[in-house]
Each structure stands twice: as structure tokens, then as C-alpha cells.
Structure 1
Amino acid sequence: MFNDIGPLELVTLVVLAVLVFGPDKLPKMIQDVTRTIRKIREFSEGAKQDIRNELGPEFKDFEFEDLNPKTFIRKQLDNDDLGLKEIRNGFDLKKEMAEVTDAVHGRDSESSPSSSSSSTSGATGGTVDMTKRPEKAAPDERPPFDADAT
């Protein structure tokens, strides 16, 4: 619960509590706070148990920590039923961004220091040469008709 409080901060809190409440009232205040925390925990555990009973036996392994999005995603990434580890490990964002940047600026990705792979054709997912202009048709030749485009 107090994992992020250092020793100096703890000593400061104790000195501050002695100054604010005084040495006479401090033990009574500590008892009241611990009693309140204990009641809140009992209420929380009772509510969790009631929810589990209402959900039924199909949710017997339900954990309330799974409702935290970070915990849920971490568990799903650790669960390799979907093959997410291969996808996550096979995706190099820096390399992909460098290839896109090189393509936009018209540089060859093979000469780029950030890219270590050889250039592949556009059909296989490689870089696209943005500086290359499309071939122009002859002036008397009509473009192909596309019924879906009209």
C-alpha cells in the first residue's frame, strides 16, 4: 500500500502527526485510522464476495484486478493463444518509420543507416519510390474505362 513512500517521507509524516495531534491524542488517532481501514477492507471483501455469488459458477475464476486495463492487457499479451507475441516481436516500429521517412524524402532505403535489410519490391511490402513519376500514355490513347469509378 505504501510502496512509494521513502524513509525520509515516513519520518516527516510521523513528526508532522506528532506536531498536529500531539503525543497524547496520537495513539487514539492511529487506532481510529486502523479501525476505519479494517472496516473498509471488510466491506470491500464482502462486496466482492457478493458479486462473485451473484455472477454464478461460470465466473468462479474472475479476478477484480482484471478490470484494470493495464492488468487486462498484460494478461492478454502473456496469453499466447492468439499468437500476439510473434506479432509484437516481429514489428519493429523504428525500422518501419525510417522506411516511411526515407520513402517520403525520396532517399533509397539501402543507403540509409537505420535500415539493415535489403530493399524488396512493392508487392511484398517493401519501400515505395515516391520520386518515380507514373508513365504517361500516348496522347491519342484513352485511359481504361472503370464502371465502378463512375
Structure 2
Amino acid sequence: MFSDVGPLELATLAVLAVLLFGPDRLPEAIQNVTALIRKFREFSEDAKQQIRSELGPEFNDFEFEDLHPKAFIRKHVLDGDGLGLHEIRDALDPREELTEVVDAVRSTGDSPSERAATPVRVNLAKEPGVESAARAPIDYPDAT
């Protein structure tokens, strides 16, 4: 219930309650607050039971907490019978496909000793006449 309230905050609330109500009326105030909380819980449980009875017998196991988006995802995606987190992670993992590609490339090429004996050299220098022939002519000077 108090998952977001730390010990320092609880101590501050206790000191504030003692200062506001005094040591004489504090037990009575605590009893009144707990009775109010109990009535709210009874009212909410009665409302839940009434909604379940009006929905019919197929919704007897329906939980209202499942309507929260985080609980819905946790129940149906991560923990449910559907596609779980591990299946999603395995489906998106490219390692198996990459190993197949690497094996296919290795099997189609020459043997490693032949490849090491004849190194492939690639000329990265631009040749002066090739670039102008590949480029299309510009019709007007405003073209960008």
C-alpha cells in the first residue's frame, strides 16, 4: 500500500500527526481512518462482485487488476501462453542466420590456402576519364 513512501516520509507523517492531533486524540483519529479505509475496501469489493454477477458466469475469474496496461502485457505477453519474451528475443536474434550465411560463403569460395597464396588487390585510385563519362550532362547552369 505504501510502496512509494520511504521511512523518512513515514516518520515525518507520524510527527506531523502527533503535532496536529496530540497524543490524546491520536488513537481515536487512527481508528477513524482505519474504519474509513475498511469501508472503502468493502464498498469496492461489493461493487466488483456486483459487476461480476451482472457479467455472467464466464467472467467469474475476471480480475479488474488485469485491465491495467502493465498487468495486461505482463500476463498475456511475458508470462502467458502466447509469444513470450524468450521467443521474441530468439525470433529477433540474427546470429543463426548470420552463421548460415558465413558457412555458405566459406563453402563456395576457394580453400583458405589458395586465397592466402593469391591476395586480391583493389585499386582505389580514381581514373581521370571515367568520372566524366559516367556523369550525365547538365542542360542549364541553374541545375543543382
Task: Report the TM-score range of the alignment, normalised by the length of the smaller protein.
Answer: 0.5 to 0.7
Asked which structure has the greater RCO (Cα within 8 Å, sep 6+), the reply is: 1
TM-score, normalised to structure 1, is: 0.56
Query: What residue identity is the alignment partner of 2:92?
Result: F
Q: How does 1:29-108 map to 2 (within 5 A)?
A: 29-77=29-77, 78-82=79-83, 85-91=86-92
- Number of equivalent positions: 97
What's 1:127 paired with? none
Same amino acid, percent of matched pairs? 69
What's 1:124 paired with? none
- CA deviation vs aligned residue, 1:63-98 (integer Å, no higher than 9, x gap): 111110100011111223346642344326xx8xxx
What's 1:6 paired with? 6
Unaligned runs of 5+ in 1: 96-116, 121-150
What's 1:137 paired with? none
* CA deviation after TM superposition for structure 1 residue 57, in Å: 0.7
Q: If you compute each CA radius of gyration, which structure gives the higher value, 1 or 2?
A: 2
Query: What residue identity is the alignment partner of 1:86?
Result: E
Superposition CA RMSD, Å: 2.3
TM-score, normalised to structure 2, is: 0.58
